[in-house]
């Protein structure tokens, strides 16, 4: 995820804009939540965005889309990876993982532009489940309407040589995915 | 060449360009990556030290010997290194010496959110504060020059948001390490050897230096005025400047790149030209108090909170109260319906068996700093006190000294291998010396795991991965005179339990249990199979949920007990077998080879 947000920030730079990215995490490596903010603009001051005012939300995990939806600007676009990772509050505690319907409803309070992506499945089909993030970036690239070649230039520079072709495939698979609802 | 760099990457690059020859640190979030980046740079010697004080002492030595030197640490690391900082303030430097203090507003990965600008004032040394990665790189060079010009250590203070945010940096085309000849060490005891008589003579030098630094600050390019609407003048620094710049749009700004000593003339001039002086600073009212002490009226903490990290929303709220209109972004409150995602010990973590056992035996536990602080959380709820590196052993000794480590409430101290080298060894000496009878558990996972698997004196590897003498914790403990030393396989829960029981039963002398098993992120970790659940045998007794493993989750209800049976996620399980060992019905078995 941290590499994915670096890529988004570098795409902003490649477009000639100022860019900042910042992740918020404490015990992230140990199963906690990680949020990563990317901002582009003529001049970017704050490294973090604010609730109710971000344009695109990319959720790498299904339930997390609902946790962070309050950051999205009403009518903004949310891209949701359908993969579920059960939290400890559900595995050892009494919390229940929300249903697909409950999550979808929560997202719809803010927007109808919801793009579900089977990132892990698509990546697994391509032969490497580590490609899931690149699939999601492809989906993001589609809704952001930035020249895919700009994205690919940045991605290619970021990944080891032997994974370049795989990542290109994953990017296009994500980009060709479902249409964005209007 | 424009590059997207984190503050920490930029600091490392700035240090390299400034010709730093020696750097030392103890890992600590959010500072760790500075040394990790420097370690890759040719021409720089970068070492992990056992603790921050040792790091800063050796950096002082490198500077005395004539090399530009850098120490990096998290904010609480400077507490450990503070004694060194204070004598350094008196001795001054030979070649430039810079100390990076990476503070943690919001206490994202710390035990507090102290504001280390106070250390600059306390030790009477200058403090620079970059507001983005470009400044982080540029200010390192300025800090080294300043250090040499004024013969002083220089603190460069970042925060988590500055250290870990990435922003655009103009990297010079030629960014090679600039080798500098060693500046000759000219023996001068009156400057470098702080016996009382010399200390008394150096003190006026320090005070005089501070005055000169204050003068320098008045025209230093690190402090910048951006004129705008003069009905309000904002005094700010670091990331608070970034938030304020998007909130107080069009107003006048005094951006302080040097937070101590403050540029009094510049502030006075700025204040005289604006109608209202507003201080926007994260954490303590440091500028505010200094500016008030100059007799200049200003406002600050009545509008902006003293606690927690700033954000656009927090700064907007203050601006609103000051009458500056702000957009009101509608937010849907749906997050409450989403279950929390608390951190957990990783699947396969060697600490799991210990905390399961401590909980089971209902021992009272003096905890320490590391991944195992997760032992505070459910399902373990197994740590009673937790303060700082090495505190576990000291606390246990105090409890023991007043007779509270007894049959009714046996206490143990729990510490990791890296903290043991950091601050645990003197505390163990204290237990031995003062006839303590504490049981100390040393969780040796062969790495400094919390900050991302850094080497330490017990791993036998340097920061760059070179093989070196490995300091054997067992030998150290025995060498201190502890007779009852137990070494146990961390992945053998019954043995861990038996060993802890045996150690705690020793009531007249200290005992040490070394629970040994590598961190799951190390290459030496052996994962050959995964565990699975026989759903016929499982009756939902829930014991395996108490090992707190993210790979184990609740399945269907058992027909008899009406409790959920266990399931194991094959993608997450790593085959450590701790759940298998605690299962009373042999319902968990190994899959594969």
| Burial track B56-72 (b if 16+ CB lie within 10 A, e otherwise) | bbbbbebbbbbbbbbbb
For residue B328, the tally of other CB atoms under 10 A from its CB is: 9
Task: Please identify every stretch of chain B with a pLDDT value under 50, giving residue numbers as ranges.
Answer: none
Alpha carbon distance, N-terminus to C-terminus of chain A: 27
Task: For domain B224-321, give the fold.
Answer: Rossmann fold (3.40.50)
- Which pLDDT score, from 0 to 100, does residue A180 have? 52
**DSSP 8-state class, residue B517:** -
Say if the Cβ atoms of A66 and B313 lie within 8 Å: no
| Phi-psi label, residue B402: left if phi above 0, alpha if psi -120 to 50, beta otherwise | alpha
Closest CA to A1 of A133, A172, A141: A133
- Which pLDDT score, from 0 to 100, does residue B39 have? 97
| Phi-psi label, residue B483: left if phi above 0, alpha if psi -120 to 50, beta otherwise | alpha
CA B301, B307, B313: angle at the middle one, nearest 5? 80
Measured CA to CA, the distance from residue A107 to residue A68 in angstroms comes to 9
Question: Tens digits of per-residue pLDDT, B480-512?
Answer: 999 999 999 999 999 999 999 999 999 999 999
What value of ipTM does the predicted structure carry? 0.94
Q: Nearest CB to A51: which of B2, B109, B313?
A: B313
Same fold, B2-219 and B352-516: yes
Closest CA to B176 of B2, B17, B3, B11: B17
> In B, which residues are within 8 Å of A18 by CB distance?
167-168
Measured CA to CA, the distance from residue B72 to residue B58 in angstroms comes to 12
- Which pLDDT score, from 0 to 100, does residue B213 have? 98
- Which pLDDT score, from 0 to 100, does residue B176 have? 87
Quote the CATH superfamily of domain B352-516.
Thiamin diphosphate (ThDP)-binding fold, Pyr/PP domains (3.40.50.970)
Say if the Cβ atoms of B312 and A19 lie within 8 Å: no
Helix (H) or strand (E) holding B226: strand B224-226
- Which pLDDT score, from 0 to 100, does residue B103 have? 98
Domain boundaries, chain B: 2-219, 224-321, 352-516, 530-591
Say if the Cβ atoms of B242 and A109 lie within 8 Å: no
Question: Tens digits of per-residue pLDDT, B535-562?
Answer: 999 999 999 999 999 999 999 999 999 9
Largest CA distance in chain A: 49
Closest CA to A142 of A182, A179, A113, A169: A179
Measured CA to CA, the distance from residue B33 to residue B13 in angstroms comes to 12
Instruction: Give the chain B residue nearest A17 (alpha carbons).
Output: B168
**DSSP 8-state class, residue B107:** -
Say if the Cβ atoms of B552 and A91 lie within 8 Å: yes
> In B, which residues are within 8 Å of A100 by CB distance?
none
- Which pLDDT score, from 0 to 100, does residue A176 have? 85
> In B, which residues are within 8 Å of A27 by CB distance?
109, 343, 371, 374
Q: How many Å lie between the alpha carbon of A107 and the closest alpha carbon of chain B?
A: 9
Is residue B195 exposed (0-12), middle (13-18) or buried (19+ Cβ within 10 Å)? exposed
> In B, which residues are within 8 Å of A91 by CB distance?
545, 549-550, 552-554
**In the predicted structure, residue A127 carries a pLDDT above the cut 60:** yes
Name B267's Cβ contacts closer than 8 Å, sequence gap at least 6: B235, B254, B291, B294, B296
Q: Would you say B280 and B257 are in contact if contact means Cβ atoms under 8 Å apart? A: no
| Phi-psi label, residue B389: left if phi above 0, alpha if psi -120 to 50, beta otherwise | beta
**DSSP 8-state class, residue B29:** T
The mean pLDDT value of chain B amounts to 96
Question: Tens digits of per-residue pLDDT, A72-109?
Answer: 999 999 999 999 988 888 877 788 899 999 999 999 99
- Which pLDDT score, from 0 to 100, does residue A2 have? 60
Measured CA to CA, the distance from residue B165 to residue A48 in angstroms comes to 9
Give the bridge partners for A117, in sequence order. Answer: A81
User: Can you tell me which residue has the tokens 């009852």?
Assistant: B484
Measured CA to CA, the distance from residue B407 to residue B524 in angstroms comes to 39
Helix (H) or strand (E) holding B370: none
Q: How many Å lie between the alpha carbon of B59 and the closest alpha carbon of chain A?
A: 29
Say if the Cβ atoms of A50 and B337 lie within 8 Å: no
For residue B593, the tally of other CB atoms under 10 A from its CB is: 5
Q: Determine which of A11, A24, A39, A50 to mutate to test the interface with B (most B C-beta atoms within 10 Å).
A: A50
Q: Nearest CB to B342: which of A9, A22, A32?
A: A32
> In A, which residues are within 8 Å of B313 by CB distance?
50-51
Q: Does domain B2-219 have CATH number 3.10.520.10?
A: no
> In A, which residues are within 8 Å of B334 by CB distance?
66, 69-70, 106, 109-110
Measured CA to CA, the distance from residue B370 to residue B345 in angstroms comes to 11
Q: Does domain B530-591 have CATH number 3.40.50.720?
A: no
> In B, which residues are within 8 Å of A22 by CB distance?
161, 164-166
- Which pLDDT score, from 0 to 100, does residue B358 have? 97
Instruction: Give the chain A residue nearest B546 (alpha carbons).
Output: A92
Provide the percentage of residues in chain A whose pLDDT is more than 70: 93
């Amino acid at each position: 995820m941290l590499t994915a947000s670096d890529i988004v920030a570098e795409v902003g730079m490649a477009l000639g804009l100022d860019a900042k990215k910042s992740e918020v995490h404490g015990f992230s490596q140990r199963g906690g939540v990680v949020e990563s903010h990317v901002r582009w603009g003529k001049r970017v001051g704050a490294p973090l965005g604010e609730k109710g005012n971000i344009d695109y939300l990319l959720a790498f995990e299904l339930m997390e889309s609902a946790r962070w939806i309050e950051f999205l600007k009403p009518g903004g676009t949310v891209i949701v990876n359908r993969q579920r990772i059960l939290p400890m509050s559900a595995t050892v505690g009494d919390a229940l993982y929300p249903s697909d319907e409950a999550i979808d409803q929560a997202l719809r309070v803010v927007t109808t532009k919801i793009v579900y992506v089977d990132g892990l499945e698509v990546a697994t089909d391509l032969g490497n489940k580590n490609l899931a993030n690149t699939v999601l970036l492809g989906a993001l690239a589609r809704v952001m309407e930035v020249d895919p070649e700009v994205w690919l230039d940045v991605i290619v520079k970021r990944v080891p040589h032997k994974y370049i072709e795989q990542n290109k495939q994953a990017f296009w698979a994500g980009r060709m995915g479902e249409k964005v609802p209007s | 060449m424009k590059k997207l760099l984190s503050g920490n990457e930029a600091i490392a690059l700035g240090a390299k360009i400034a010709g730093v020859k020696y750097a030392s640190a103890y890992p600590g979030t959010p500072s760790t990556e500075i040394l990790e980046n420097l370690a890759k740079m040719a021409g720089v010697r970068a070492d992990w030290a056992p603790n921050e004080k040792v790091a800063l002492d050796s950096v002082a030595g490198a500077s005395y010997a004539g090399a530009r030197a850098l120490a990096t640490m998290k904010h609480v690391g400077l507490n450990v290194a503070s004694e060194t900082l204070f004598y350094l303030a008196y001795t001054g430097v030979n070649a430039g010496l810079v100390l990076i203090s990476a503070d943690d507003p919001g206490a994202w990965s710390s035990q507090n959110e102290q504001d280390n600008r106070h250390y600059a004032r306390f030790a009477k040394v200058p403090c620079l504060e970059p507001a983005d990665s470009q400044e982080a790189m540029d200010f390192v060079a300025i800090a080294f020059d300043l250090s040499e010009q004024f013969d002083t250590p220089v603190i460069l203070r970042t925060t988590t948001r500055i250290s870990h945010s990435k922003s655009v940096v103009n990297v010079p085309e030629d960014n090679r390490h600039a080798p500098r000849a060693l500046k000759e060490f000219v023996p001068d005891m009156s400057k470098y050897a702080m016996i009382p008589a010399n200390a008394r003579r150096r003190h006026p030098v320090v005070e005089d230096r501070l005055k000169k630094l204050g003068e320098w600050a008045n025209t230093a390019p690190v402090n910048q005025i951006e004129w705008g609407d003069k009905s309000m003048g904002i005094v700010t620094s670091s990331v608070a400047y970034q938030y304020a710049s998007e909130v107080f749009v069009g107003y006048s700004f005094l951006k302080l790149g040097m937070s101590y000593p403050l540029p009094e003339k510049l502030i006075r001039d700025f204040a005289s030209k604006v109608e209202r002086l507003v201080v926007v600073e994260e954490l303590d009212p440091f500028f505010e108090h200094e500016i008030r002490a100059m007799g200049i009226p200003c406002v600050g903490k009545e509008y902006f909170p003293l606690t927690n990290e700033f954000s656009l929303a927090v700064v907007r709220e203050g601006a609103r109260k000051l009458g500056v209109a702000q957009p009101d972004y509608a937010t849907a409150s749906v997050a409450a319906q989403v279950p929390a995602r608390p951190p957990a010990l990783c699947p396969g973590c060697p600490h799991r068996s210990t905390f399961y056992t401590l909980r089971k035996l209902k021992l009272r536990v003096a905890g320490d700093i590391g991944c195992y602080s997760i032992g505070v959380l459910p399902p373990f709820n197994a740590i009673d006190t937790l303060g700082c590196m090495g505190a576990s052993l000291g606390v246990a000794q105090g409890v023991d000294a007043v007779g509270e480590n007894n049959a009714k409430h046996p206490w143990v101290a729990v510490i990791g291998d890296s903290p043991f080298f950091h601050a645990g060894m003197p505390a163990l000496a204290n237990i031995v010396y003062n006839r303590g009878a504490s049981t100390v558990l040393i969780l040796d996972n062969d790495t400094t795991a919390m900050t991302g698997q850094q080497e330490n004196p017990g791993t036998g590897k340097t920061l760059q991965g070179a093989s070196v003498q490995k300091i054997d914790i067992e030998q150290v403990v025995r060498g201190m005179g502890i007779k009852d030393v137990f070494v146990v396989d961390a992945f053998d829960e019954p043995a861990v339990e038996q060993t802890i029981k045996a150690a705690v039963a020793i009531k007249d002398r200290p005992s040490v249990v070394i629970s040994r098993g590598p961190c799951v992120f190390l290459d030496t970790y052996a994962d050959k199979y995964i565990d699975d659940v026989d759903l016929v045998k499982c009756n939902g007794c829930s014991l395996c949920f108490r090992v707190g493993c993210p790979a184990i989750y609740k399945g269907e209800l058992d027909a008899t007990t009406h409790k959920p049976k266990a399931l194991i996620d094959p993608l997450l399980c790593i085959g450590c077998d701790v759940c298998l060992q605690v299962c009373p019905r042999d319902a968990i078995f190994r899959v594969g080879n």
